[in-house]
Structure 1
Amino acid sequence: MNEPFLSAKPIIQKLEEQSFEAYFVGGSVRDYLLNRSIADVDIATSATPEEVKSIFPVTVDTGIEHGTVLVIYNGKGYEVTTFRTETEYIDHRRPETVKFIRSLTEDLKRRDFTMNAIAMNIHGEIIDPFHGRLALQNRMIECVGNANERFQEDALRMMRAIRFVSQLNFSLENETKIAIKANAQLLQHIAVERIFQECTKLFQGKNKNQAIQFLYECNLWNYLPELKNHQDLLPCFQKWEINHLSEKQVWLLLLFLSKTNNPTGFLKSWRMPTKKISYLSKALFFLHKRLKEEWTIYSHYQATKEISIDVESVYQMIQNQSGENIEQKISEIFLSMPIQKPEEMKVTGADLMLWFDRPGGPWIKRALEMIEKAILQKKVSNEKGAIKGWILTCNLQQEKDC
């Protein structure tokens, strides 16, 4: 047993000292057995929320109606959740009520996949009533109990299953796959924001090609925002190896392949954050530009380093080119630039108005762009005096004179 389990052990010890059961559960145990990095741990206990609060001096009621109390210990927060069972689910997403119980096995029984229904005690011993370790060994995602029931309880579990295919490089157990296909239509009951979160995690995984194939085979593709209108996208995903692409690069590829005339609307349908929509819309512009012409120093500068890397990565792939060392090559280009963003110029619009004794207007934007290009092309150094001497000799009506 290692961190972060070691730091959390005192929580379990204190619960056990009061004659309660307590275990590490869920994703942290799964990732520990897979030798993956672990961000935080979850603890399940036979103690009720009120009993947990009576043991620890500092707690926060983060989800007390569902049995979860955040215990603050040594400056860190640990979610401690009471063993529970769940009644009828509503909207194929949330249980109507929960019932606190004293049985670990019954608590694990309500979980989604066998690999997430494993517990570990304070001594590092594994409690695995549903054979989750075997599923891990077989690199297989399978439901706890009846797969149809698990997905009808919470339809988002179908997206979680396929997200784990990508993240863990696992496959779907046959009955689980059949149940996803049979219940795919239930995904329409799930908030788009939650679907977007799962797709984002899926696109961050290393087995994206396989996961996207499962989205299609299990018919979930038809219930994803916009994609039901773009069945033709899948053959393109199958054509290319996209596992090496970053999450933003996959979204950019998806946006490009959609051939949409309204990229902002396409991305908004996913309830994507505004900042990300702006980023991807700008990246799409430069991808179309890249397909028509080679990069210049100025177009790299306009795009920014991050967008240049994303655009070139997608461009190289759709052109069936090797795409080797893209990040390194573009990083070297940016390192060679005298400036990398407008804020680094040693001149402002106020300087121009003073030098030319003219009021503000559209000419300032044009003049600043001329200066940017001149600095990037190393026609003038990025020093206020040098810029002043250069711009005063220019004909602002004819950029070619500079």
Structure 2
Amino acid sequence: MRKREQPVRIENLPAAFVDAQQVLQVIEQHGYEAYFVGGSVRDTLLHLPIHDVDLATSAYPAEVKQLFARTIDTGIEHGTVTVRYHRHSFEITTFRTESGYQDYRRPDRVTFVRSLQADLMRRDFTVNALAMRENGEVIDLFHGLFDLQAHIIRAVGDPDHRFQEDALRMMRSVRFGSQLDFTIEPVTLAAIQTNRALLAKIAIERIHVEFVKMLLGRAPLRGLQQMLTTHLLDYLPVLNQSVKQLTEVVNRPLAQRLANETQVWSWLAVNLGWEAPQIQSTLHAWKSSKQLTGAVTNVTAAIHALLEQHVTNWQLYQTGATSLTDAAQVVVALGHPDQTAALQQRYQELPIHSKHDLAINGKQLIQAGIKPGPALGNLLNSLEHQVVAGTIANETTQLLAAAKQQSEANKAW
């Protein structure tokens, strides 16, 4: 049995809570309970940046609306009302219980309750089941403080029930473990392995979010290892065909944390040997945007060029400043020296940085007597390549002369 924790009170609340304190005070003055709940409480205790501040109350939605002059029915069927107070907006959710979960994702029934304990009992992990009064006093009904101190991810109550309610929680457990650099305690980990097949019922878009957050965490390789150990990876598109390779990847050191989603997928692409077609098919299977797919394709090509120590001016030009930084940082993560500054200097020294910078255009070529059509487009592309390579100056007169010469040569050929 775990030792009962001593009461905890946070004396100096972060600024993110200050405006909302008055909202909780108004609710409490009318005889209801009101608390800060969830991730904001956890991250405050861990001295991490706070993103969203969630408020929960024993007041039912209709009662909350009576307490404030300006409200919006944001998600009132699930108990959430947005309150406008002193020019700020606050989402307030009524204590509730959930039941049904026939699709292993969403509750079939939501019931509003007056009990904080009943509300916290439906939450996923003990470290997320903490509440805090407006005066900073922490309410811990499930030993979340102990688990925070021990750096443990533990399901609230029976982990089998938690994962059968929402199978995405299995991914979230691995993600939180990586983000916080916590370990998943054995009973919760065993329940993930038991219930892993339920992940097939979750939309890839939801899995995608958790997977990327996991690889952006403090301990991504541990997260990946836990996905291998529990066989969650068997239910991820394309990656389920690379289990053997990923088993090798988790044993390679990651010298630096990955900073964004483009770096995540580029790092995977390099480690798994994906060429452009497989990058595109993989990200399509993961319902990624065309913009992300293009960025990962470019960054991966640049990484290979950096590893081979052969980055041409044209590759610098095509890749662009942002993607060059991503490529250089993935190379650092792979254990190689940082080339970011040198690459950016070379990029800035290029004669042009886009086709719009070219000192000639199609209209000028037509006026010079070159017929419109595919040949004109090819001519512009050739001039663009030559300017980037430095074999011709980006100057209109020189470009026109070169265009005429190449056009005549093409006719003669």
Q: TM-score, normalised by structure 2?
A: 0.88
SS in 2 for 1:23: strand
**1:206 and 2:222 are equivalent in the alignment:** no
Q: What's the RMSD between the two structures over aligned residues?
A: 2.3
Change (3 A) 1:61 1:258: farther
Equivalent residue for 2:179, pick from 164, 167, 183: 167
Equivalent residue for 1:251, pick from 237, 260, 265: 265
Change (3 A) 1:76 1:396: farther
Could you tell me whether the CA contact under 8 Å between 2:212 and 2:264 is conserved in 1? no
SS in 2 for 1:281: helix
CA distance in 1, matches of 2:274, 2:384: 33
Change (3 A) 1:331 1:313: same
Could you tell me whether the CA contact under 8 Å between 1:230 and 1:258 is conserved in 2? no
Spell out, residue by residue over 1:304-329, the C-alpha distance to the aligned partner (whole angstroms, 9 max, x if none). Answer: 223333344445766xxx43223222
CA distance in 1, matches of 2:341, 2:399: 31
CA distance in 2, matches of 1:384, 1:77: 56
Alignment of 1:364-375 (within 5 A): 364-375=376-387
Could you tell me whether the CA contact under 8 Å between 2:216 and 2:257 is conserved in 1? no
The Cα of 1:12 is off from its aligned counterpart by 0.7
The Cα of 1:151 is off from its aligned counterpart by 0.9
**1:279 and 2:308 are equivalent in the alignment:** no
Residue 115 of structure 2 is matched in structure 1 by 103
SS in 2 for 1:95: coil
**1:329 and 2:342 are equivalent in the alignment:** yes
CA distance in 2, matches of 1:148, 1:228: 24
Residue 233 of structure 1 is matched in structure 2 by 245
The Cα of 1:106 is off from its aligned counterpart by 1.5
CA distance in 1, matches of 2:316, 2:219: 30
Residue 305 of structure 1 is matched in structure 2 by 321
Change (3 A) 1:330 1:285: closer
Quote the sequence identity (%): 37
Could you tell me whether the CA contact under 8 Å between 2:222 and 2:250 is conserved in 1? no
Spell out, residue by residue over 1:352-388, the C-alpha distance to the aligned partner (whole angstroms, 9 max, x if none). Answer: 2212x12212233333233323333444443434544
Equivalent residue for 2:77, pick from 51, 65, 78: 65
- 168-177 vs 274-283, greater mean Cα deviation: 274-283
CA distance in 1, matches of 2:333, 2:113: 53
Could you tell me whether the CA contact under 8 Å between 1:240 and 1:317 is conserved in 2? no
Equivalent residue for 2:59, pick from 47, 54, 59: 47
The Cα of 1:159 is off from its aligned counterpart by 0.3
SS in 1 for 2:315: helix
Residue 396 of structure 2 is matched in structure 1 by 384
Q: TM-score, normalised by structure 1?
A: 0.90
Unmatched runs of 5 consecutive residues or more in structure 1: none
CA distance in 2, matches of 1:263, 1:378: 32
Residue 359 of structure 2 is matched in structure 1 by 346
Residue 163 of structure 2 is matched in structure 1 by 151
**1:20 and 2:36 are equivalent in the alignment:** no
Spell out, residue by residue over 1:259-283, the C-alpha distance to the aligned partner (whole angstroms, 9 max, x if none). Answer: 4654322211111122212322344
Could you tell me whether the CA contact under 8 Å between 1:233 and 1:258 is conserved in 2? no
SS in 1 for 2:55: strand
Could you tell me whether the CA contact under 8 Å between 1:58 and 1:72 is conserved in 2? yes
Spell out, residue by residue over 1:320-355, the C-alpha distance to the aligned partner (whole angstroms, 9 max, x if none). Answer: xx4322322221221222222222223221122212
CA distance in 2, matches of 1:24, 1:398: 75
Could you tell me whether the CA contact under 8 Å between 2:215 and 2:223 is conserved in 1? no
* Paired AA for residue 353 in structure 2: Q
The Cα of 1:189 is off from its aligned counterpart by 1.0
SS in 2 for 1:395: helix
**1:265 and 2:296 are equivalent in the alignment:** no
Spell out, residue by residue over 1:143-162, the C-alpha distance to the aligned partner (whole angstroms, 9 max, x if none). Answer: 11111111111110010011
CA distance in 2, matches of 1:119, 1:315: 42
